Structure 1
Amino acid sequence: MPAAPAPPKSILVVGAGCFGAATVQSLVDGPYRGHEHLITVLDRSHLLGTPASDAASFDYNKILRQDYTDPFYAELAKESLKRWRGPGYNRTYHECGVMMGSSHSDAESARYIQGSLAVNSLPGMQAAGLKAYSLDTPADIKQVYGRAVTGDFEGNIAYYNQAGGWADSRMAVVDVLSRVRARGVKFASGEAASLLFSADKKDVKGVTTKEGNEHRADFVILASGAWTGALVPEIAHDLLATGQTVGTIQLSAEEAEEYATIPITLLLDTGFYCFPPNKDGVFKFAIHDGGWLDPQVQTNLPSMPRTALTVGCERQQVPEAAKQALLRGLRRVFPKLATKEWLQSRLCWYTDRASGDWLIDYHPSYPSLFLATGGSGHAFKFFPVLGDLCLAGIERRLTPQQASYFSFAGDADRIDKSRGETALVRKVLEPLPIKAKL
């Protein structure tokens, strides 16, 4: 088994999003302190030190919560929230609390609500002065929204966790990238198109970009999110690119004030979730479910991202069915907002694994290729601790429990149930015109 990379070995990190930025931060704080110049970050973005504009982390905000039924993730999220509140991250974090709800009729989601509340009520699970508590009636649910006008919440099971909120994800990632760049980490622009192999084809030595440029290194880390499957098609089935629907509304100053103190809302039975407005009065809402696929017949890939940067999709069209699902969510939670014009809608592309666990492991065939991906729609909340996990994986010191979650082997029987009964229902986008795919 080859040794983990250390100076003077060079490292190429493909992807400047959540996984890439976090991993580089831990590398330069650890074995590459004083040798930062040996690390190069390659990203599709034309603006060095910023994730690509269609990356999942390039967004107004992401939910930060510790609401899991699995104590492993709940404990990890608790530690992550502790770091979000501290230096280096707290300027992007807004702790507004989280309302977790579901219709009683969705048995799987209702069980998740009960289980998550039980875990978050355990001794030691809450930061000082914070608590999680059940919302037993519609009136209890409405109370956590203050003066904001809500739906009636009849027939819902819910609880409120004072721990949690949201982060400006774009700013958080750029902050980390700026710090490591200032320390000497190199950045390059280009879209990785294929791996560069050793002469005997038994190892990876870098990548070639669509522009034809070669980027070589002793060790390669793929942190390329939903685009990873194109680089390692042999495992694309385990790293499924799914498009999740997102909408935004521009609120007036008066509306922004009305909704300013609302909590994060997450309805597990439909996957609908929404945020308080940001400093610019932008209200974001979305669906977290099985998502949309864009199968690639020519390359035999199960799905690849289709974004506003995809040729032929410059004005990305969100499927009508997806828009209607978002509207149903708005009517259920904030009916007044359901009549307003939208600022934008788009598909945010996740990298889903069936288990919902991330992939932090060496490629089984190439000893110098490491994968840090498979966020499955919930990795960003762990941004402050994610790099340490990836570094532990690189140095082969993940605990047996961590390895059981984040390795290729993992636990084949574990299925992500956090999205309720919609978790495994995938929808397929209409094919693009042939000329648009050229």
Structure 2
Amino acid sequence: MERDACHAWLTELRYIGKLGIALGRLVMKIASALLILFGAPAIAGNPAFAQGNELEIVNIRIGQGDATLIRGPENASGKRIVVLFDAGDDARSTDADYEGGKIVSAVLKRRGISHIDYVVISHYDEDHIGGLIIDKDRKNASLLFGPNGVPGAPGDDDGNGKADWADDDPQSPYPEEYGKGDDITVGTFVDRGDEQSESSGQQFGTPPYKLYVSLAKSSGNRLSLDTQSKLDDFSIDLGEGAKMLPYASAGRIRGGSGKVADVNTENEHSVSMLVTYGKFDFLVSGDLIGQKHGSEDAKVERAVGSKLQAEGKIVDVLHVNHHGANNGSDAMFLEQIKPTIAVISHGNVGSYKHPNIAALKRLEAAKVYRIIQTKWGTTELSICKSKQECETVRKNESPVRDIQAVYQNDVVITSDGQNYTVSTSRTFPADSNPRRPSN
């Protein structure tokens, strides 16, 4: 009798399970039909996400690298100024978990972008310039080249028998071929210049750097922020009152009188730029550092922070320097700029341990409201396996965990100059932080 009852119960359970699956499939069909009829909702990565009067900033999920797309508000004719800050990694890099060129190409395509007004390169590490270049073995796709509708694939757009790009040798490309057919064109390339640092000699000898320089020169409009006057005089008008201003380049600070002390390495030469629209401010600075690490000991972060503080700037969103490494996000720098949101771009490969737990703790201690990561990364946050371990984790790391969000997508920020919205969170008034009521 008990066996019969048990059999009946299992039969009923199987029926309920099959019914649930059938209902689930029906719901999916209905949802698909609704999407066909009415379209998908506006989400991160959707061109409709930014309204006409809004500034849009896309922190691209690029893996172990950096790439940020900035689009100004629409002007009277509906045009937006487009800026790309860094371009992701080279697929040939041993630490690349994503191919920068293809990813940025997809972001541009979704927004219908065929011309970039400014490409700003913070410095010459491969995970920041790799997405711009291609090689003779076709192992890397450039976000700029797209013959025959194939993003990143070199070819002969104008049919004159010459390929868009020949090979790794910077003496034998065909830069005059760039910008033909369906290539993504660039108005101006902006970078830190060609002054070699203690560690930049290696970068300056590599094909990625040489190919970048050839490409930038081929545009006929390369601007290097390698002197104090160039740094002080340069700005990008994003339209409708929005703008981008450089606050550091090649170890110099906007409005300064020379290099910051102890600037030696490539990271310390990074370009730092502030995006401003009304009361809203966003800071992005490549691999700029402020903590001692090996031969790196320049306090460039603090110098930038001091300048912003003197101007009364409160940074609403910080694109965290150097992928959340421990030699960035200096405590004094964070206190100077008082960020509300911190976005970290990093990958899941390599031995970097990005983002570093010490850097995350400094962000939390600075009363950052939310830390948003594009990937989980290889950070050494503990995974507890026992009650005792879990108590230790809660004690040591819970403040970070409470404000930490891992978002498996591009992190999109839009602002009308008074408020700003983060695609993973809520809308905030500019210059306001729930954890800093006095801001």
Structure exhibiting the larger radius of gyration computed from Cα positions = 2
Structure with more strand by fraction: 1
Using structure 1 for the length normalisation, give the TM-score: 0.24
> Relative contact order: is structure 1 or structure 2 higher (C-alpha 8 Å, sep ≥ 6)?
1
Using structure 2 for the length normalisation, give the TM-score: 0.24
